[in-house]
Structure 1
């Protein structure tokens, strides 16, 4: 029985900013600027919300504070993820960004439920709101949220960590639009119920988006198989390889957002040489599925596993 852990023929690229011509240091600077402007905006919104009596504006400020904190977490995770593998973390630190995304999405869910409860309370007892101040500050918030979203948009394409931070800011920008509409209606018609209604809309929108994005993050942390390739596709393709009789004990999982790993037991045909078959399988996995980290245990008919399952252990 032969177990191999041959190094990948092609190096992994964990610095995904490079995919869009943005080096990690430049990306870090963008995130730092976004953090600074979001903290400043949060302070202005909270003061204005307290003065005006607008829960929707305070809600937007709290959400914006979560944006700033999410960017802090994302910034730290980016730094940690670039550390090389060592004796304590033999797989490296790349999953720091996945953990950061989970934290940010969880915070969004908590905030959304808090806003929903406060919005319901305000529906029962609508307060007096100074619409003009709400509109002015929300308009400023919209500009800053849009700038922040643009700063990190390119990085969000290839990083679940930055995508979580981007969604924070995108939803905050949309929330600011809703607040502006609500403040305008208060100015025109003195319709105070619009403030808690807008708050509930923001909360619902946050929950909807978060529910869509948090699932893939949890799947990565749970070592789930990727959507593509499927386990069935991987086994079928490997068993098509000459001199391969059977594939069993297969594990297929995502080490990170862009890195798929595979390990499996390979039963060889009688008289087949292990090394050429192993090389052919690794080439097949890399070319067809982009799997460049595979561990294959070669077995003969004499020492093959008994009653082996195609997936997992017996």
Structure 2
């Protein structure tokens, strides 16, 4: 992908994540105890979400460590996608939590229970402070990593949940509206589900070897075809290696009279791809007389006949 990224020092980032995990675990314990004592489902929901924050950060921490490993014979593109897998786990967890909160919130609306408003306010207020501290610790890193961004969104949604719980506590104290507690729970669940579904699509697209969202495949193919000496292009594969690198594989058919400068043509085609932010290219050069028969423009077609000599470029 094209773009300029501001990278955080890995060790400094690890320390921030470790600190965020510590405060979230402490907060989870306080919220669960407070939720049980006060009878607030919204506070318990916030506590469970906070626990998921801590687990998300632990997963993010481990994924960051793995992602920094260099490429080897087993993982020739490196281990950067460990962070993408971690993001998928975190978003999936958020969706499960959101659906569970919807179920519990509806059940509490049907069968209301008493709630200690003051205890809810104090615990939720403390939780809000911790959520904001955790979000601050991970905000900078979230700009550069979908893995950390997933963990960051855990905290943002939890901070909003804490605000909702505080509002619920005030309304319960002022008007005795115990139904506000499950309504706030449903609001927290709705936000969690909205954020998760809006983010998980890009993660799945990357894992499914999809093309970069901002890439224009037609324009990329047109630029390759426009190179002098190129007769045609086929077998084009455009995908994301990881969050910040994209790649192209393609077969380039060279005009009959231009075969003597095939290497130069390949170089110009590769240069045309850098304009689109392509970090890695593999180009197979074919003479137009012996090009693949029945080849598709995008991807692979079945039963392709290869009866030509070719030169590989990487």
Per the shorter chain, which TM-score range?
Answer: over 0.9
CA distance in 2, matches of 1:214, 1:162: 13
Deviations 1:61-86 (A, max 9, x none): 00000000000000000000000111
Question: In the TM superposition, what are the counterparts of 1:101-112 in structure 2 within 5 Å?
Answer: 101-112=87-98
Tell me the equivalent position of 2:50. 64
- In the superposition, relative to structure 1, how do residues 208 and 21 fare at CA in structure 2: closer, same or farther (>3 Å)? closer
CA distance in 2, matches of 1:244, 1:21: 39
Question: In the TM superposition, what are the counterparts of 1:189-268 in structure 2 within 5 Å?
Answer: 189-268=175-254
Of the three residues 114, 122, 131, the one matched with 2:100 is: 114
Using CA pairs under 8 Å that are at least 6 residues apart, name the structure with larger relative contact order, 1 or 2: 1
CA distance in 2, matches of 1:97, 1:173: 24
Matched, 1:282 2:270: yes
Is the CA contact (8 Å cut-off) linking 1:282 and 1:292 kept in structure 2? no
CA distance in 1, matches of 2:151, 2:8: 17
Is the CA contact (8 Å cut-off) linking 2:224 and 2:230 kept in structure 1? yes
CA distance in 1, matches of 2:202, 2:281: 22
CA distance in 1, matches of 2:97, 2:248: 38
Tell me the equivalent position of 2:280. 293
Q: CA RMSD in A?
A: 1.5
Following TM superposition, by how much is the alpha carbon of 1:21 offset from its aligned partner in structure 2, in angstroms? 5.5
Alignment TM-score, normalising by the size of structure 1: 0.93
Stretch of structure 1 that moved more, 64-73 or 227-236: 227-236
Matched, 1:166 2:138: no
Of the three residues 73, 76, 88, the one matched with 1:90 is: 76
CA distance in 1, matches of 2:116, 2:278: 58
Stretch of structure 1 that moved more, 70-79 or 228-237: 228-237
